[in-house]
Amino acid sequence: KGIYQQIQNSKQAKQKSFAVLIDPDKVRPAEIPALVQLALDARVDYLLVGGSLVISNHLDECIQAIKSLTDIPVILFPGSPSQISRYADALLYLSLISGRNPELLIGQHVISAPFVKQSGLEIMSTGYMVIDGGAPTTVSYISNASPIPSDKNEIALCTALAGEMLGMKLIYMDAGSGARIPIRESMIAAVAEQITVPLIIGGGITDPEKAYRNCRAGADLIVVGNAIEKDPGLIREMSAAIHALSATAP
Ligand code: 1GP
């Protein structure tokens, strides 16, 4: 419990945080210990678990394996209500506020609400905004909703503001996993200047320099998945770049 408080405390202290996204479909159980060790060594702040599609049926096992190895908080990032595991610590309770698909705004939440409540997870309501990443991503296809155009900062800003005023505790802007083009810093800055809740940024971040620039633009928490699946050693560099900014914060 208290993970949201931790995220908020970091924001207030101008400390940037780093989350590694683990897709249960892409990581083999045998790979988990080495991945967790890299995350521990690099002082990763959070582990996000989930994906747009979870084809394999080992979400619980994956999370239990992680939890047996580390105290790094495990936060669910579910692509659908079936991706809930009581073994995690918290849940990004996502409403796709950038889209106009009622199922992903509220419909699926209504259906799964009793189940989510019973899970005992810390629920963190999250305004989820998909930004055009240069080519269709899995999330843009599956959600059946148009992403926000990558150069329309004002749409992103108004969407994030509306989300915050509706009571969402986090805003997550995502170019989609494996996005060809990550979110522009000017869009991150436009949103970060106006909202008061923590801002999560992810999708297509492949180099530490970009992660650093996103933090400088106002991101509070950076999520990286694909690039680390390809090169787990990148965890260390990404973490160093993201935390470097905290060290220089006034
Ligand atoms: C996707 O924001 C996450 O939802 C992470 O994206 O896999 O491209 O790092 P990547």
**Dihedral (Cα; 82, 40, 231, 178), 10-degree rounding:** 40
- How many H helices and E strands in the chain? 11, 8
pLDDT tens by residue, 61-70 = 999 999 999 9
Asked, for residue 250, whether it belongs to a domain, the answer is: no
- Give the three-state DSSP class for 21: strand
- Count the domains in the chain: 1
Is 235 close to ligand 1, i.e. is its CB under 6 Å away? no
Is 133 close to ligand 1, i.e. is its CB under 6 Å away? no
Residues making up the binding site for sn-glycerol 1-phosphate: 172-178, 203-204, 225-226
Question: Which pLDDT value is given to residue 122?
Answer: 98
Asked, for residue 249, whether it belongs to a domain, the answer is: no
Question: Which pLDDT value is given to residue 1?
Answer: 57
Tell me the CA–centroid distance for residue 99 and ligand 1, in Å.
Answer: 18
Q: Are 41 and 238 in contact (CB under 8 A)?
A: no
- pTM of the entire structure? 0.97
pLDDT tens by residue, 171-229 = 999 999 999 999 999 999 999 999 999 999 999 999 999 999 999 999 999 999 999 99
Is 224 close to ligand 1, i.e. is its CB under 6 Å away? yes
| b/e per residue 27-65 (b: at least 16 CB within 10 A) | beeeebeebbebbeebebbbbbbbbbebeeeebeebbbb
What would you measure as the largest C-alpha separation in the chain, in angstroms? Answer: 46
- Structural domain range at position 189: 3-243
ipTM metric: 0.98
CA 182 to ligand 1: nearest atom: 8
CA 139 to ligand 1: nearest atom: 4
**Dihedral (Cα; 227, 231, 232, 238), 10-degree rounding:** -50
Torsion sign over Cα 143, 149, 153, 159: negative
Give, in order, the Cα–Cα distances in Å from 74 to each of 146, 149, 190.
Answer: 29, 31, 29
Is 205 close to ligand 1, i.e. is its CB under 6 Å away? yes
Please provide residue 131's backbone torsions phi and psi, each rounded to the nearest 5 degrees: -110, 140
Asked, for residue 177, whether it belongs to a domain, the answer is: yes
Which CATH number is 132's domain given?
3.20.20.390
Residues making up the binding site for Mg(2+): 23, 52
Question: Which pLDDT value is given to residue 140?
Answer: 86
Establish how many alpha carbons lie within 13 A of residue 245's alpha carbon, considering only the half-sphere containing its beta carbon: 27
Tell me the CA–centroid distance for residue 164 and ligand 1, in Å.
Answer: 22
Asked, for residue 35, whether it belongs to a domain, the answer is: yes
Asked, for residue 138, whether it belongs to a domain, the answer is: yes
Cα–Cα distance measured from residue 118 to residue 167, given in angstroms and rounded to the nearest whole number: 22
Q: Are 204 and 176 in contact (CB under 8 A)?
A: yes
Question: Which pLDDT value is given to residue 82?
Answer: 87
Question: Which pLDDT value is given to residue 34?
Answer: 97
Cα–Cα distance measured from residue 203 to residue 137, given in angstroms and rounded to the nearest whole number: 10
Which parts of the chain register pLDDT below 50?
none
Asked, for residue 248, whether it belongs to a domain, the answer is: no
Is 177 close to ligand 1, i.e. is its CB under 6 Å away? yes
Cα–Cα distance measured from residue 191 to residue 195, given in angstroms and rounded to the nearest whole number: 6
Is 23 close to ligand 1, i.e. is its CB under 6 Å away? no
